[in-house]
Amino acid sequence: MTGAGAVHAEGEEGGRGGVRTALSGLTTRGRSFLAAGVAAAICAYVLGQSDLLRVGLLLAVLPLVCAAVLYRTRYRVAGSRRLSPGRVPAGSEARVHLRMDNVSRLPTGLLMLQDRVPYVLGPRPRFVLDRMEAGGRREVSYRVRSDLRGRYPLGPLQLRLSDPFGMCELTRSFSTYDTLTVIPRVEPLPPVRLGGEAKGYGDGRQRSLALAGEDDVIPRGYRHGDDLRRVHWRSTARYGELMVRREEQPQRARCTVLLDTRAVAYEGAGPASAFEWAVSGAASVLVHMLERGFSVRLLTDTGASVPGGGSDGFAGINQESADAAGLMMDTLAVVDHSDETGLSRAYDVLRGGGEGLLVAFLGDLDEEQAAVLARMRQRSGGALAFLLDSGTWLREPADVPGPSDRGGEWLRMLREAGWTALAVPRGASLDELWRQADRERSGLAAASGGEGP
């Protein structure tokens, strides 16, 4: 488990406010004592009862003395927070570690520590810290959990001081906070062989010549350390010196995951909605392809591509790819419905071709968008589509054995265009659909007498 980085803050208990600040911290008990004391003093004055006056003064002075002592109490504490981990899948728990240090030379009294968390992460945690000696520390922790993906602020920390009689409470807040990122659920996928994909290195059909290093575009002169088996004898005889032949270097297989986020394409909301299934599916495929050595990218219907930097916009398997993978997961954590009505912007991004495998998670379609997807197929080495029919997701699985009439029509159009297209029923497992896509592609390849495109 890794921390998200400790957040340090420092507060001075006692504050800089005036008497009004101290009196505003009176609790219900303190206000009741003060009111009772004032009432007793007034009655004693009217009735001429000196004993009642002394009781009234005692009742009124006690909360005021407690507020004054608490207000003038000064000591300095430092607080820090650490998340383990800072990025957590939806439905999983993260632990928040809090640490308080007494950096003053005086011991503290009883402290009540409270951290502010959004409602979706659970109840607001509260802790009672006993007396801290000078230079001492206290550590506490609590767990948070959310079924909804997103980015949630944690903090700021609040310290509440109280007197032994419970007459007054003063609150001091730190100024810093952390952010917990709840990413979509990722489902492990089996290593199947889909049309248009390759294993990252070695057996991809797309190859390119190395532009630098040991292999040049044309035969070059022999260099110390070169393998003699690479000597190009014909060029050696021509140039009169040892020449080393060029070799082809495999190009990393690519995969583009297209996520349809159009608001008009989905109905319903919540963790069990079709849109959330599509987001989780896109995250699962991205992680799976990265683990298999693919260069991957995330594309939405708005034309936005993640990662956006680099010469080709894809993330590989080097150190930078780990950051790119985190960036894609962070993007999926906050992705929401778009106002787009079509997929033309995504098609414009794919116009260059050579995109490798294309995996699409699609909502409701119409004839125009189905035609756009048919043209997308021509720009990829292989295409796999998961079609989520909102009509079937709004009813129970037992009531909808298969896709609706319109959903079946779009499936046929995509398959005729060369897509491996599958309907996604409510509550379906991506693992099973992933295997089914492999079986269907294998069946089509066998029927055509070879491996499909």
From first to last of the 453 residues of the chain, give the pLDDT tens digit. 333 333 333 444 444 445 677 788 898 999 999 999 999 999 998 998 889 999 999 999 999 998 888 777 766 888 899 999 999 999 999 999 999 999 888 788 778 899 999 999 989 999 998 888 888 999 999 999 999 999 999 989 988 877 878 888 888 888 888 999 999 999 999 988 765 444 443 334 343 333 333 344 467 777 766 777 778 888 888 888 888 876 544 456 889 999 999 999 998 888 889 999 999 999 999 999 988 888 899 999 999 998 865 446 677 655 566 778 889 999 999 999 999 999 999 998 887 655 689 999 999 999 999 999 998 888 777 899 999 987 778 765 544 455 666 668 889 999 999 999 999 998 899 999 999 998 887 765 555 544 433
Beta strands in 200-269 (DSSP E): 207-209, 220-221, 243-244, 248-250, 254-259
pLDDT for position 14: 41
DSSP state of 203: S
Q: Is 440 helix (H, G, I), strand (E, B) or coil?
A: helix
Sign of CA dihedral 429, 430, 436, 440: positive
Contacts of 306 (CB under 8 A, 6+ apart): 297, 298, 299, 324, 327, 328, 331
* 48 Rama class: left (phi>0) / alpha (psi -120 to 50) / beta: left
Q: Where are the alpha helices (DSSP H) in 295-366?
A: 319-334, 344-349
Q: Is 227 helix (H, G, I), strand (E, B) or coil?
A: coil
CA distance 253 to 317: 11
Query: Which residue in the block uniquely carries the two structure tokens 């945690």?
Result: 125
Residue 89 in contact with residue 185, Cβ under 8 Å? yes
Element (H, E) at 84: strand 75-84
Instruction: Give the Cβ contact number of residue 420 at 10 Å.
Output: 23
Instruction: Give the Cβ contact number of residue 235 at 10 Å.
Output: 18
pTM of the prediction? 0.76
What's at 202, amino acid-wise?
G
Element (H, E) at 138: strand 137-145
Contacts of 319 (CB under 8 A, 6+ apart): none
CA distance 429 to 446: 26
